[in-house]
A and B are shown apart, each in its own frame.
Chain A
Amino acid sequence: MRIGIIVFPGSNCDHDCRFVTQNLLGEPTFSIWHKETKLPPLDVVIIPGGFSYGDYLRPGAIARFSPVMDAVIDFAKKGGYVLGICNGFQILVEVGLLPGALLRNRSMKFICKTVSVRVENNQTAFTSQYQLGQVLSIPIAHAEGNYFIDSSSLKDLNKKNQILFRYVTEAGETSESANPNGSLEHVAGLCNEAGNILGMMPHPERASDLLLGGDDGIGVFHSLQATRTGLNEKS
């Protein structure tokens, strides 16, 4: 599986993603500077977390105009897999590859902690290695992760099973207190209708190494590996 990680000025989690895909999973991984206009042959594009352009104006609002984004849109439209994590999710929303918006957290503060999310759909390229309803411990670290969308589009997302992760309690129940940022319907991650673009606020790359206390996030990468090799079955 060939993985490209887009590096914007201000990207912070590019090294962390690369450590997982290259060092832990042994997949060939390429860093792609945002000024590039063409992508090398790839199976997956990761847009990593961080503060592209310092989050100035609005997270993701400037990065969407980076030269590389046309190539990413093209790649996605041809069915390539795109994973946007945290700031990557914000960029995907800003560029219009995913619907909705990410507002300031309800607390108006940056929040960094490990939360519980529930797998809402395991029939996708990003979640096939999870059980349906499985509760994952994955860190979040953001100030703007409060997902918002109009109600008819939200209905659509639900109908088409595009919401892949929701914030829940450790026991797997949705509740206001288990929703760290005020996201509408506890949305933590969602995909496009075709299922090849995922945006998620939690950082799976921070939960992929047991030494750091847990590896619930590595399933996202394992799922992509399984998709690539055609083994899209539950392990």
Chain B
Amino acid sequence: MKNPNPDTAPSHPLTDEEFQKVKTLLGREPNQTELAIFSVMWSEHCSYKSSRVHLKRFPTEGEAVLHGPGENAGVVDIGEGWVAVFKIESHNHPSFIEPYQGAATGVGGILRDIFTMGARPIALLNSLRFGPLENPKNRYLLEHVVAGIAGYGNCIGVPTVGGEICFNEIYSKNPLVNVFCLGIAKREDIVTAAAGGVGNPVIYVGSRTGRDGIHGATMASAELTQSAEKRHTVQVGDPFTEKLLLEACLELMKKEWVIGIQDMGAAGLTSSASEMADRGEVGLDIDVSQVPRREEGMTPEEVMISESQERMLLVVEKGKEKEVAAIFEKWDLEMAVIGHVTEERFLTVREEGRVVARIPVPALTAEAPVHDRPMVQPRFQEFIQSLNMDAIQEPKSYSEALFTLLGSPALASKEWVYQQYDHMVRTNTLIGPGAGAAVIRLKESNRALAMTVDGNSGYCLLNPYTGGAIAVAEAARNLVCVGAKPIALSDCLNFGNPERPETMWHFAAVIEGMSDACKKFKVPVVSGNVSFYNEAREMGIYPTPVVGMVGLIEDVGTVLTAGFKAQDEKIVLIGETLDELGGSEYLKVIHSQERGYPPILHFDKEKGLHDLILKATGEGLLRSAQDCSEGGLAVALAEACLLSSTFVGAIIKLEPISIRMDAFLFSESQSRAIVTVKEDDLSRLRKLAEEMSLSASIIGVTGGSALDIRMEGRSGSIIHLPLEKMREAHSAGLKKYFQA
């Protein structure tokens, strides 16, 4: 095949070496269409060429795992014939270029990954990173990203039940938008994305194809430069069409004659066609002139790499075309037979019968380049890990410090954000946004699922191994604190330019930490996404892994919440508080320092804490549970007061301590939780803790209308903050930036 425009040398983002490899694989020069197909399939975004060698470390198997990484989403058994299908994915660059549509199509994309497996999406969560809100551009980004998530999720009727938002200057030029979605299905209704059956029709369904999102995957595989010129690479979402597509697909996938189905996400028709062919070890022969279009004069190349939203590719048994048409007609959606499955493992693209591209399928998938990129520890690493505690002064007023922390955007209430999300639709939300983990009941059984998204990029910068491990540990702890047993996770790895050896050093260490934690807690990785090139102006973002973890609650009656329940219940701190302030919110907010060594994580102690809380929950001992994380013990206690529906305070009486007071109050020591129990259950809880070699100290009782912390041998209160005052600070901390 000849290049249709021989006068113009084809432009492409492939390296010289990659271009040579293309020629070798084809045994000839590629034409422009083929080059475009290779470019998107071999982009970092689609090929995982820099990450693949490292991702192999993750444990991906377990008793409950039915489908691990490689499918559109992970599938785990949740008992009684039901499975949970979930994945987290990034939409970072589009959200910076056009925040509303970037975030909206991020939601749309992850939803399709779930229902393309035959599962009905029942919950969305998101993890967001922005620069400081003092900067109006960052406020604009946050406001429109949130509106985009709300606009899409609310319209399609899937509740957004939880998430996290963190702030750091490093994200000003490259905010992060990671979206997690979970769906459920009967085990036998799961459909995979493999093509099969020579001669079977390849069918296109959903929206028409336009020029939007062309080269989106390539854009996501390079550093951001001038953003205005990239706007055409951002897709435009239509949640209404997606809702119709969702209902039509779920109706369709109940039919046993559906062979495989995949959504057209990044790299559009190109990736869905080649990946489906690859999984089924077959070829596809498609004709782009059959693809429904909404723009005239599109070239085959444009049709193949358009990232227009709300489209799916499916393969069904020959002869069932009319039945497919009837379903899609009911939902007023387009449907077109665009090709067929071939035995020969080629992706053949035609235009009105004439072949315009012909590429061996493995050349686009298994034989895509793999790089084991060089790694080097950043020069600043040792410097930022050092912290001279003697130079850090204890605050004049601990009440003041806690008050400031509660009102800091990272720890403040995110109510202003999540009130814009419909978090209640489908009437399953037992715990919604604003808690450590969300809980969704399953109407079909007595079970519930808990889910959370977590990641502390500050820890990962200071020590990527520990930071990676803590991301997994904290997610698991959040699940355990609502009474759920962690079963599996999906990860979204947001990093800078992989061609920078420092980035790869961070990347490898984070994965090592996460993998070790996953193995220890027996929580396999079943799906995920890597987003590199998150940098702007030659500065990478902090290494930012985000863990989306799912837990199972077998009896919906045992769900725990964090808020104090009633007066005069014993408050017990499980775990030990160490003299470690490195990487803490306290150090960042009160002392403007982001350095030191992040808190130590002992896998055995962490696992012990999980086992203890689940055992105590099973015995019905616990009235509430709240993990201690960002902001430490003091913030955890304040939050337990603020989350109390009965507005109960706490009276804390500490025994003398051997560490700094600010460390005791604000250290982010791992493997700790605050639980409340009735007086009668105290001895049983302490016995369980003793059996598991965990420290369980009674630190006070619930009651009053303030958080009051005192210590033996010290007169007066160390902290005394009325609930009303704490509530004001906590509720205004984020909202105040958006009031006219």
Tell me the bound Cα distance from A139 to B243 in angstroms. 23
B384 part of interface (Cβ distance < 8 Å) = no
Cβ-defined contact, A141 with B424, below 8 A: yes
Cβ-defined contact, B429 with A112, below 8 A: no
Q: Are A54 and B238 CB-contacts (below 8 A) given A12-B157, A109-B420, A110-B420?
A: yes
Tell me the bound Cα distance from A23 to B420 in angstroms. 29
CB distance from B565 to the nearest CB of A (A): 14
Q: Which residues of B contact A23 (CB under 8 A)?
A: 443
Cβ-defined contact, A112 with B420, below 8 A: yes
Find the A residue at minimum CB distance from B153.
A110
Cβ-defined contact, B240 with A56, below 8 A: yes
B135 part of interface (Cβ distance < 8 Å) = no
Tell me the bound Cα distance from A8 to B421 in angstroms. 22
B600 part of interface (Cβ distance < 8 Å) = no
Cβ-defined contact, B422 with A112, below 8 A: yes
Cβ-defined contact, A111 with B420, below 8 A: yes
B244 part of interface (Cβ distance < 8 Å) = yes
Cβ-defined contact, A211 with B430, below 8 A: yes
Cβ-defined contact, A206 with B243, below 8 A: no
A209 part of interface (Cβ distance < 8 Å) = yes
* Segment 532-580 of B: residues with Cβ below 8 Å from A: 556
Cβ-defined contact, A9 with B331, below 8 A: yes
Interface membership of chain A positions 36-65, coded 1 if the CB is closer than 8 angstroms to chain B and 0 otherwise = 000000000000011101111000000000
A16 part of interface (Cβ distance < 8 Å) = yes
Q: Which residues of A contact B67 (CB under 8 A)?
A: none
Cβ-defined contact, B157 with A211, below 8 A: no
Q: Which residues of B contact A12 (CB under 8 A)?
A: 156-157, 243, 425-426
Tell me the bound Cα distance from A206 to B241 in angstroms. 26
Cβ-defined contact, B429 with A212, below 8 A: yes
B441 part of interface (Cβ distance < 8 Å) = yes
* Segment 216-245 of B: residues with Cβ below 8 Å from A: 238-241, 243-244
Interface membership of chain B positions 685-700, coded 1 if the CB is closer than 8 angstroms to chain A and 0 otherwise = 0000000000000000
Q: Which residues of A contact B157 (CB under 8 A)?
A: 12-13, 50-51
Interface size on B, residues (CB 8 A): 29
Cβ-defined contact, A209 with B427, below 8 A: yes
CB distance from A168 to the nearest CB of B (A): 19
Q: Which residues of B contact A141 (CB under 8 A)?
A: 154, 422, 424-425
A10 part of interface (Cβ distance < 8 Å) = yes
Find the A residue at minimum CB distance from B429.
A212
Cβ-defined contact, A51 with B155, below 8 A: yes
Q: Are A9 and B443 CB-contacts (below 8 A) given A141-B422, A206-B427?
A: no
A234 part of interface (Cβ distance < 8 Å) = no
Q: Are A10 and B240 CB-contacts (below 8 A) given A19-B427, A110-B150, A206-B427?
A: yes
Tell me the bound Cα distance from A111 to B415 in angstroms. 10
Q: Are A19 and B424 CB-contacts (below 8 A) given A50-B157, A211-B556?
A: no
CB distance from A130 to the nearest CB of B (A): 21
A78 part of interface (Cβ distance < 8 Å) = no
Cβ-defined contact, A212 with B240, below 8 A: no
Q: Which residues of A contact B422 (CB under 8 A)?
A: 110, 112, 141
Interface membership of chain A positions 184-208, coded 1 if the CB is closer than 8 angstroms to chain B and 0 otherwise = 0000000000000000000101100
Q: Which residues of B contact A159 (CB under 8 A)?
A: none
Residue in B154, B424, B430 whose Cβ sees the most chain A Cβ within 10 Å: B424
Interface membership of chain B positions 155-189, coded 1 if the CB is closer than 8 angstroms to chain A and 0 otherwise = 11100000000000000000000000000000000
Q: Are A112 and B427 CB-contacts (below 8 A) given A10-B155, A51-B240, A55-B155?
A: no
Cβ-defined contact, A19 with B443, below 8 A: yes
* Segment 601-635 of B: residues with Cβ below 8 Å from A: none
Q: Which residues of B contact A109 (CB under 8 A)?
A: 147, 419-420
Tell me the bound Cα distance from A143 to B419 in angstroms. 11
Q: Which residues of B contact A55 (CB under 8 A)?
A: 155, 240
CB distance from A32 to the nearest CB of B (A): 14
A160 part of interface (Cβ distance < 8 Å) = no
Tell me the bound Cα distance from A12 to B159 in angstroms. 10
Interface membership of chain A positions 112-135, coded 1 if the CB is closer than 8 angstroms to chain B and 0 otherwise = 110000000000000000000000
CB distance from B558 to the nearest CB of A (A): 12
Interface membership of chain A positions 142-162, coded 1 if the CB is closer than 8 angstroms to chain B and 0 otherwise = 010000000000000000000
B382 part of interface (Cβ distance < 8 Å) = no
CB distance from A103 to the nearest CB of B (A): 18
* Segment 103-155 of B: residues with Cβ below 8 Å from A: 147, 150, 154-155
B215 part of interface (Cβ distance < 8 Å) = no
Q: Which residues of A contact B420 (CB under 8 A)?
A: 109-112
Find the B residue at minimum CB distance from A11.
B157
B679 part of interface (Cβ distance < 8 Å) = no
Residue in B243, B425, B429 whose Cβ sees the most chain A Cβ within 10 Å: B425
Cβ-defined contact, B425 with A9, below 8 A: no
Q: Which among B155, B239, B243, B425 is the interface contact of A16 at CB below 8 angstroms?
A: B425
Find the A residue at minimum CB distance from B432.
A112
| 7 other A-B residue contacts (CB within 8 Å) besides A12-B157, A51-B154 | A16-B426, A111-B419, A112-B422, A113-B419, A206-B424, A206-B427, A211-B430
A-B contact pairs, 27 of them (CB 8 A): A9-B240, A10-B155, A12-B243, A12-B425, A16-B425, A16-B427, A23-B443, A51-B154, A51-B157, A51-B239, A54-B155, A54-B240, A54-B241, A54-B243, A56-B240, A109-B147, A110-B150, A110-B154, A110-B421, A111-B419, A111-B420, A112-B154, A112-B420, A112-B421, A112-B424, A141-B424, A206-B424
What 3 A-B pairs come out closest when comparing CB atoms? Answer: A54-B240, A12-B157, A51-B155
Which residue numbers of A lie inside 8 Å of B, CB to CB? 9-10, 12-13, 15-16, 19, 23, 49-51, 53-56, 109-113, 139, 141, 143, 203, 205-206, 209, 211-212
